[in-house]
Amino acid sequence: MDQPLILDGLRVAEDIKRKVKEKVAGLKEKGIVPCLATILVGDDPSSATYVRMKGNACRKLGIESIRIHLPKETTTEELLATIHELNDRDDVHGILLQHPVPSHIDERKAFEAIHIDKDVDGVTSLGYGQSAFGFGLYPSCTPAAILSIMDYYQLPIAGKHAVVIGRSPILGKPVSQLLLNRNATVTICHSYTQNLEHHVKQADIVVAAVGKPRFVQGDWIKPGAVILDAGYNKGNIGDVDYDACVAKSGAITPVPGGVGPVTIATLVKHTVEAAERKATLQAQ
Amino acid sequence: MDQPLILDGLRVAEDIKRKVKEKVAGLKEKGIVPCLATILVGDDPSSATYVRMKGNACRKLGIESIRIHLPKETTTEELLATIHELNDRDDVHGILLQHPVPSHIDERKAFEAIHIDKDVDGVTSLGYGQSAFGFGLYPSCTPAAILSIMDYYQLPIAGKHAVVIGRSPILGKPVSQLLLNRNATVTICHSYTQNLEHHVKQADIVVAAVGKPRFVQGDWIKPGAVILDAGYNKGNIGDVDYDACVAKSGAITPVPGGVGPVTIATLVKHTVEAAERKATLQAQ
């Protein structure tokens, strides 16, 4: 068998960022600076790191980043008020609410409050529905990143059998819809799935989005399968037992350096697209 | 093997209608008459029949039905204007735009124009997203009908492997999401699926939503599988080769008398729920 292809997320992210830079330069000529507002509620250290990484990625590309840090006692109403304010601000093109928020907050209600034009992280039910129906502007970032990696490496999707493990609103569900729209046959597995191994063994494409370290085992993998690991567990460990799976796979994303950096690049890309779209609409 | 259970859609529909009648009576005491507006564009005889059936089902249960019939030359803009008018009307609780509209009209744009509160047929991307995320009010009617039939006959869903053939926005996609939310493992197949038979053979639950007469073959069926035939082709023929499949199945919907009548009952039920919800919101 051929050597497995290691899918280098940093390379894909660089490719996306190169195009983003060009767009940012074009917008600056028109006097427009794209701007992402990030909202962090509470003091979870991983969440704080993620938000910082996203803000830094923006600034490196000349994109404004407004960081809003709310105390952990913030109420749903207060968070909604912040989101509404950002919806109304002319200089803000994208809004990212870092998941998870403290458990006393109605997170879904907060996500739903983000205006569709600024939902660059792809978290609203409307954005999900539009993407599922094939006309969404900003699909959820990790699912979009997975597709970008496959496209960058020209891995075929149409007619392939994709097995997605996980069904969260920002990962398992939307990646299933994107793969389906690219003409894959899609199986969605989750905690109630019986005989998960049996399903994964049939997959040409495996998307691991389950949130459990090294969950996907080497002997579950059909030889030559493409493995996309969207997991990011403590200690930089993915949802896939990489060492056990790599040799059997046809192509695989490592963790770190796989889906993660492409997700962040996608968020930045969506923010710039939102700024471009607004400029186009205003010029009309 | 046990005799297959024939899933009697008329019986399920009667059960739904009985509850609808009670709700209608309750609303009438408050001086509210639920009202469904149906829009038919053009002269397709099957579409005209469907719209008439839906209107009749309403009237039999004491629900008002406004039938709007637009000529086949109607433009997208004219259709949108009609929908906006119905959105604004206080006496209209649900809006049904009969699919398909003439090909020169942007059908998706028209569907999307229906206000979410009146989207009793479950056609908007927002309604789809909300149902997929588990908090939708009015899922697409045929998918909801399929779930109602399974629930009426107490057929288990959680942990079962459901194979859905078809991925339309009003049928294959939403039924996949509803089954997924009820903890089935779900595989979505379509025209690009390779070796469809192989997938269907593994299914505990088969949903046929492909729009091709007698498409699903008897030797594709795993013994004891539950078969839900959402097809309704010319000459009252389903998507399943009933005679070939019935003996192998554990339970099966016939055509006619299966999913069809429950779909109509579901539309009526959603309309009454929309009227109830509006009354509740106004009372607050």
Please give the residue range of the domain that contains residue A78: 30-115
Q: Give a yes or no: residue A64 inside a domain.
A: yes
Q: Give a yes or no: residue A201 inside a domain.
A: yes
Q: Give a yes or no: residue B267 inside a domain.
A: no
Measured between CB atoms, which of A169, A185, A188 is closest to B185?
A188
Task: Please give the C-alpha separations between residue B43 and each of B39, B49, B57, B91, B123, in angstroms, as whole numbers.
Answer: 12, 10, 21, 27, 21
pLDDT at position A219: 97
- Bind-site residues of B: 166-168
- Asked whether residue A212 falls in the same domain as residue A253, the answer is yes
How many angstroms away from the CA of A156 is the closest CA of chain B?
Answer: 13
Q: Give a yes or no: residue B171 inside a domain.
A: yes
Domain count, chain A: 2
Would you give per-residue pLDDT tens digits along chain B (284 residues)? 579 999 999 999 999 999 999 999 999 999 999 999 999 999 999 999 999 999 999 999 999 999 999 999 999 999 999 999 999 999 999 999 999 999 999 999 999 999 999 999 999 999 999 999 999 999 999 999 999 999 999 999 999 999 999 999 999 999 999 999 999 999 999 999 999 999 999 999 999 999 999 999 999 999 999 999 999 899 989 999 999 999 999 999 999 999 999 999 999 999 999 999 999 999 88
How many angstroms away from the CA of A134 is the closest CA of chain B?
Answer: 10
Residue A162: beta bridge partners? A186, A205
Does the structure's ipTM exceed the value 0.95? yes
Q: Which of B98, B130, B173, B239 is catalytic?
A: B98
Task: Please give the C-alpha separations between residue B224 and each of A82, A182, A196, B4, B250, in angstroms, as whole numbers.
Answer: 54, 32, 21, 8, 4
pLDDT in tens, B128-157: 999 999 999 999 999 999 999 999 999 999
Residues 125-144 of A with CB under 8 A from B: 125-130, 132-133, 135
Task: Please give the C-alpha separations between residue A96 and each of A169, A269, B105, B110, in angstroms, as whole numbers.
Answer: 15, 13, 36, 30
- Asked whether residue B81 falls in the same domain as residue B175, the answer is no
Q: Of all helices (H) and strands (E), which one includes residue A164?
A: strand A161-165
- Asked whether residue B106 falls in the same domain as residue B157, the answer is no
- Asked whether residue A98 falls in the same domain as residue A63, the answer is yes
pLDDT at position A1: 58
Q: Give a yes or no: residue A222 inside a domain.
A: yes
**CATH label of the domain that carries residue A200:** 3.40.50.720
CB contact under 8 A, B126 and A126: yes
CB contact under 8 A, B188 and A180: yes
- Asked whether residue A146 falls in the same domain as residue A253, the answer is yes
**CATH label of the domain that carries residue B50:** 3.40.50.10860
pLDDT in tens, B80-117: 999 999 999 999 999 999 999 999 999 999 999 999 99
Q: Give a yes or no: residue A180 inside a domain.
A: yes
- Bind-site residues of A: 166-168
Cα atoms in the Cβ-side hemisphere of radius 13 Å centred on B142? 22
Q: Give a yes or no: residue B129 inside a domain.
A: no
